[in-house]
Amino acid sequence: MNTIRYLLILATMAVAAISVGLAQEPAESPELDSKLYELHFQQGMAYNDSGDRTLARQHFLTTIYLHPDHSGANYQLGLMAYSDNNYSAAISFLERASVEMSEKVELYYWLGGAYWKKSRADGAIKNYRKAVVLDPQHKNSFSLYALENLAEVYTRTERLQESMDAYQAALKRETRQAWVSKIKDQIAELHLTMGTYKDDGNTRYNEKGEAIGGIGAGDMRTNHYFEIARHTTDPVKEAMYYQKSIEADPGMYQSYFNLGWALTRQGKHDEAVPAFVRSDEIWRQERGWNPEMIPKTDAHAFLALCYVELGEPEKALDFAEIALGSAPNYYYGLLYKARALTELGRSQEAIPILEGLIDRNPDEAEALYALYESYRAALKPNLALAALYQAVRAQADNQQKMRWEKELNVLKER
């Protein structure tokens, strides 16, 4: 996919109306040639079955151009958008398809997933529930997958008893041994969070008598505070409880990393730096998990983010390069390397990195905004405008979306 062409098309042509405005009621078209749009749909299915997604997509788009309500074409385009990580478009297509495919379990599974990928918990819960309810006889495996994902959404939104109930229901249906073990671990973690955990004979404790390991079937290293933090999306609460987790078990590297991540989401990048550094230090000592003592990739990538935000792009670039040294294709290593390059006046080097990231994930707001900044710095105003347009569209956080919309409106007036 050519990223520049992709951005310009989505920002300026009718494809944007197709992928973004599908929830609008189409104009009456009594002269639709049903044979023509069905022919395009069947050709799309044939190409899809043969693995030619490009031609399949073209025929599905032609189908909904001729007949915007065509449920089959909207459904297939929704699945394609989902597999391309374009979750905003997936939501639009699948919502449109659901009007006539209201009994299709798989549709609500994918729609729930798209909403959750966009951090829209209410939409995820509504659609995962619908997938479960549509299969009371438990004949469709997608209703089980929806139930398991529903439990996770409940967990992440602090609806712990509902999460417990969903996991217990899933455990009765699940036959895949790996998933049985995973669900049992999730249930053990929920008990730990809720203060109802019972020692199974393998539990390890700290000097205060707090459980810090041997949790669940997976013999997990975790604790009450870590699980409370993990089961919320509030970064302030996360930071507080990850700090308590560190006090309970100072040797748990993930607590330091998660603390750093919670602090960055509050804009406290200077406080996040020592947390990421300590996470890396402990990780390098973990001979069981890290026998080669390689640097902690994600810690170095997010140190790069911190130093970009702190106005030290040289340091940021150094940390990004360390991250990429152990994982050359690591998304956040590349993203924050590109941001550092832009800050250093090297936007021409940053642009191809960011275009590659957008090819991988066209609905990632942070990367789109970084691409906008690079295009702007490289004096490419039309491409900058297109990238910012898409960043606004992809942004799930309403406050950030409003700030970017104001910036977009200023650019449009120039």
- Could you read off the pLDDT tens digit of each residue along the chain, which spans 414 residues? 455 555 554 544 333 344 433 333 444 444 556 688 999 999 999 999 999 999 999 999 999 999 999 999 999 999 999 999 999 999 999 999 999 999 999 999 999 999 999 999 999 999 999 999 999 999 999 999 999 999 999 999 999 999 999 999 999 999 999 999 999 999 999 999 999 998 888 899 999 999 999 998 778 999 999 999 998 989 999 999 999 999 999 999 999 999 999 999 999 999 999 999 999 999 998 877 788 889 999 999 999 999 999 999 999 999 999 999 999 999 999 999 999 999 999 999 999 999 999 998 899 999 999 999 999 999 999 999 999 999 999 998 889 999 999 999 988 877
Taking the C-alpha atoms of residue 370 and residue 366, their distance in angstroms, rounded to an integer, is 6
Residue 2 has a pLDDT of 55
- Tokens at residue 71, please? 């449920």
Nearest one of 410, 364, 357 to 384, comparing CA atoms: 410
Residue-wise pLDDT for 133-173, tens only, equals: 999 999 999 999 999 999 999 999 999 999 999 999 999 99
Q: Which CATH number is 1-22+34-102 given?
A: 1.25.40.10
DSSP bridge partners of 204: 213
Residue 14 has a pLDDT of 35
> Model pTM?
0.85
Of the chain, the end-to-end C-alpha distance in Å amounts to 30
* Domain layout of the chain by residue ranges: 1-22+34-102
Residue 281 has a pLDDT of 96
In this structure, which long-range contacts are made by residues 312-320, counting pairs with CB atoms below 8 Å and at least 24 apart in sequence? Answer: 313/339, 313/340, 313/341, 313/343, 313/344, 314/340, 314/344, 316/340, 316/343, 317/341, 317/344
Taking the C-alpha atoms of residue 407 and residue 413, their distance in angstroms, rounded to an integer, is 10
Residue 330 has a pLDDT of 97
Residues 6 or more apart whose Cβ sits within 8 Å of residue 223: 192, 210, 211, 212, 245, 248, 249, 252
Residues 6 or more apart whose Cβ sits within 8 Å of residue 54: none
